[in-house]
Structure 1
């Protein structure tokens, strides 16, 4: 059952109709041969028993039955084909959607451990293999497995001696396949890993193409991509070269049964204990039985390979999602209580405790790598703390529904990502049911309405993937419009103006000032002048809070904040940031 779950991405019901119709089609394919045996019997009976005349009426009925059976076979094959392809593509489409939804509910900590190329290859490549398995491999194999069982039962009643000789070598073939299944699994696993590595290196190459061109990392100097492709070639040849002899040997064992049956039949025929008609029936039906068996056996290695691809998907689908069922409280006080957290066993925050009252403006400052952005991610519950807790309204957010929690939060990052959609569509991510008028109002408040109208199709202008067709300032303002449309009570700003020119910074600062009114606001800032009026400024250094207070208090204490302020002021960088 686990194999079927793996082959169908944990949806074995998708195989029911394809397997049923394929089995029916295989059985329908036997009917013409059974009728052919009857026709041969009618023809030969007068020669074996001269006293019995040729039954022409029955022969005509057999001929009519042959015509009907061909029509039936065509209908069954058509139903089987449609069912196989329709259910295969439906299962893959549903599976991809289900996996994407599952990924959305996993913690970022888990996703950061997985290579994006691996996930992309799983989403497209592995599901494409499962499509092929459901449409071309699994139904045919199961249908072919049913055939010999039914044939053995039927032929056993016809002549048990020939039936046993026909299937005598089958246990040897099955044993050979089962004994080598470990080798097949190992080779398949190595080939899948080679494909993943090649996919990762290709994605790395495409994402870093600007660096590659800038530093002339081409030809022999850039060998990682070439090495991964050649390793994939080597594993592909190895997979085919080692599995081929195993499969061919098993097929040969199957075919030996036909030889044994012919030998036994000739011996019995010469001995007078077998009639020609029975022997002819075995010759006709026996050859038909081995065709689907040979096809199934030839696809067995592929069957196991596809099962490994599906196993990766099922393992990811069973990865536990972030838990929590309670709805967030109406009180929006945020507090970190002795929080410790790290990425991949690298500590980032150490025993951090800070309270951010509802409706307050809290600024997080400090040198790069001090843990400022990590605090925002913990508040949004992109991650859960390793120790301690984050609370909202005095309640641990780990007990809250992650999606309900995020509905309370609007976020604006320094690196804005826009989807390959229209300007209006990207702003509507803030609230899916927003009207065009509400989107325009949010855009005006975010100071981006005017530049949107100057675009070729205005709000219907398509944005390149990631927002590549817009400037950094334009993307930031659209991101703020999105946050304004969401109208959440908690605002998280992660260095939203850190790398902008003065003109864009002024526009975005106006938009941010409108966004934060009357809300609980937590800001990560490099430009200290933008947060000097904050209700509280929290200064972090190497994952610990070293200072906390208002701007004037921190300057008078002459600590890290005062040094950062003087450094920016003395260097004339209050508008340029720390760099």
Structure 2
């Protein structure tokens, strides 16, 4: 817990100058506020009984002036407090987002998108009130309490001791309430993450299509109903945790002034009326800050559960760190140097040793699960090999900056992703500095310009979530245009035409041919007919290189590749008969 508190305090360190100003304003306001009861005492005990109108005017004027000044200072304090709090919130959100961007693809394949969204939106959002107001509230209330206690002792030490006797008991009760709420909050945030994940998965375009076509809409609604009911129950438990204890504290605060009147009347050497009124005024000012401090203590304990979830993401190990080298003049020689790689316990790739000469086309073929896509991901450094290395022009990818790597290696995947933005913005994502003319040239090269031109707003047409306005082949060609715009010297094509019909595949294939001209190309092939003309074909089997050579050489060998081609031809013939 101590380490967690240090990390929370560290968030405020860059803004300590502004915080010091806030604290100074708070201390000055609290000091001014404590003068008012003494002015009130003198009004009741001196100015009014002795009919001293001049003194009465001065004392009343002092009370009014103090109220005005403290009001103005309060506005300034609130503004500064919120500025600091929102900057801290911004820093925390940005830290989490930047850290997540640095994580490898492995984290995102194992984590629900809704869970990530919940951490950023719900967990960080949940600590907002604590971050923006708690520090100032604590200092303000502590200052007020200290000043009030000192003033009460100066007025009448016996009444002060009587009034403050129950405070230690109240503090213990507040700690118990805080612990209860913290436990409930941890469970509640998990439930919120479950709901976020369900909404993200079931109400995306893909999720709605799946739900409707499978007739599972009612079941998904019932599942959401259960999750929402569970969250509602947890919310009620969180709100009601320790409510009886807090109610007892509030009731005690409310009756204390009456008990002070009783104690003052029964105690020997009774205090003056002015002193009693001034004392109960201070007492009221004391109890509200004390009550606020107890509530803040509960909120802080509750928020630690949220901070723990946020810091859990910030503590995730970054397994792919950037290097410091850049590649200026890239030829494009790629080498997989005795690469070993695995996702879990079983090896996905074992001692893979392949050389891809600059400007050539290498095809990776094999059964599903043979390791083709994993090899392509290693070439783009979405993962790092456990043993061996991947080099471009003799430089290990681990030694390159991410910017240099992204400029060098381009990937076109079968999983084409388009943002919910205009076509132009989707294309310009690859090269923010691209002119409209460059964007159109890339689209023409990818054979998608004519289709875009037919849209209602041309290149300014919003594509819709995940690009559902376009067919699979059209999305692929937009992705190809995006890669053409980047102009990488090394290209990885990950089964980019596997899900397309023959006619569309031909159009996309022509766009890919344009894209691959003059580049080092690694093709992950599903249909063997698309790789006959490759400079070399590498056959993977259970993560190992089983064969490699040209199409003719491998057919003549009569091994695994020949078997795959024969099976492909058989499947094609049966499809034609249908």
Per the normalisation by structure 2, the TM-score is 0.89
Stretch of structure 1 that moved more, 20-29 or 122-131? 20-29
Equivalent position of 1:117 in the other structure:
114
Matches within 5 A, 1:174-185: 174-179=171-176, 181-185=178-182
Asked if structure 2 preserves the Cα contact closer than 8 Å seen for 1:540 and 1:547, the reply is yes
Equivalent position of 1:28 in the other structure:
29
Matches within 5 A, 1:159-558: 159-179=156-176, 181-207=178-204, 208-219=207-218, 223-251=222-250, 261-262=260-261, 264-268=263-267, 271-272=268-269, 274-321=271-318, 322-329=320-327, 330=330, 332-345=332-345, 347-558=347-558
1:204 and 1:437, CA in 2 relative to 1: closer, same or farther beyond 3 A?
A: closer
Deviations 1:81-135 (A, max 9, x none): 3334444444434433343222211111123232211110112222322333334
1:264 and 1:399, CA in 2 relative to 1: closer, same or farther beyond 3 A?
A: farther
Asked if structure 1 preserves the Cα contact closer than 8 Å seen for 2:38 and 2:278, the reply is yes
CA distance in structure 2 between the partners assigned to 1:100 and 1:499 by the alignment: 33
CA distance in structure 2 between the partners assigned to 1:574 and 1:412 by the alignment: 30
- Structure 1 position 171, deviation (Å): 1.8
1:221 and 1:184, CA in 2 relative to 1: closer, same or farther beyond 3 A?
A: closer
1:111 and 1:88, CA in 2 relative to 1: closer, same or farther beyond 3 A?
A: same
CA distance in structure 1 between the partners assigned to 2:332 and 2:253 by the alignment: 72
Asked if structure 2 preserves the Cα contact closer than 8 Å seen for 1:22 and 1:140, the reply is no
Asked if structure 2 preserves the Cα contact closer than 8 Å seen for 1:7 and 1:307, the reply is no
1:75 counterpart SS class: helix
Deviations 1:10-34 (A, max 9, x none): 4555687479648846863774673
CA distance in structure 1 between the partners assigned to 2:54 and 2:4 by the alignment: 51
CA distance in structure 2 between the partners assigned to 1:487 and 1:301 by the alignment: 56
Q: In structure 1, which of residues 147, 151, 174 is the aligned counterpart of residue 144 of structure 2? A: 147
2:381 counterpart SS class: coil
- Structure 1 position 190, deviation (Å): 1.3
Asked if structure 1 preserves the Cα contact closer than 8 Å seen for 2:41 and 2:275, the reply is no
CA distance in structure 2 between the partners assigned to 1:443 and 1:385 by the alignment: 35
Deviations 1:238-294 (A, max 9, x none): 2233332343355556668667655543443xx116444333221111111211322
CA distance in structure 2 between the partners assigned to 1:574 and 1:518 by the alignment: 37
Asked if structure 1 preserves the Cα contact closer than 8 Å seen for 2:380 and 2:410, the reply is no
- Structure 1 position 221, deviation (Å): 7.9
Structure 2: gaps of 5 or more residues: none
Asked if structure 2 preserves the Cα contact closer than 8 Å seen for 1:339 and 1:386, the reply is yes
- Structure 1 position 331, deviation (Å): 5.4
CA distance in structure 2 between the partners assigned to 1:384 and 1:102 by the alignment: 18
Asked if structure 2 preserves the Cα contact closer than 8 Å seen for 1:7 and 1:130, the reply is no
Stretch of structure 1 that moved more, 291-300 or 485-494? 291-300
1:211 and 1:26, CA in 2 relative to 1: closer, same or farther beyond 3 A?
A: farther
- Structure 1 position 174, deviation (Å): 1.8
1:26 and 1:247, CA in 2 relative to 1: closer, same or farther beyond 3 A?
A: farther
CA distance in structure 2 between the partners assigned to 1:282 and 1:543 by the alignment: 83
CA distance in structure 2 between the partners assigned to 1:542 and 1:9 by the alignment: 49
Asked if structure 2 preserves the Cα contact closer than 8 Å seen for 1:391 and 1:397, the reply is yes
1:172 counterpart SS class: helix
CA distance in structure 2 between the partners assigned to 1:194 and 1:16 by the alignment: 39
1:519 and 1:220, CA in 2 relative to 1: closer, same or farther beyond 3 A?
A: closer
CA distance in structure 2 between the partners assigned to 1:385 and 1:245 by the alignment: 58
1:81 counterpart SS class: helix
Deviations 1:305-361 (A, max 9, x none): 223223322332243433233214445332223333233545422332222222221
2:368 counterpart SS class: coil
Deviations 1:464-494 (A, max 9, x none): 1211211111111111111111111111111
CA distance in structure 2 between the partners assigned to 1:550 and 1:14 by the alignment: 64
1:549 and 1:419, CA in 2 relative to 1: closer, same or farther beyond 3 A?
A: same
2:572 counterpart SS class: coil
CA distance in structure 2 between the partners assigned to 1:310 and 1:186 by the alignment: 13
Stretch of structure 1 that moved more, 532-541 or 148-157? 148-157
Structure 1: gaps of 5 or more residues: none
Q: How many pairs does the alignment contain? A: 570
Equivalent position of 1:39 in the other structure:
40
Deviations 1:435-486 (A, max 9, x none): 1111111111111122111111111212212112111111111111111111
CA distance in structure 1 between the partners assigned to 2:470 and 2:86 by the alignment: 36
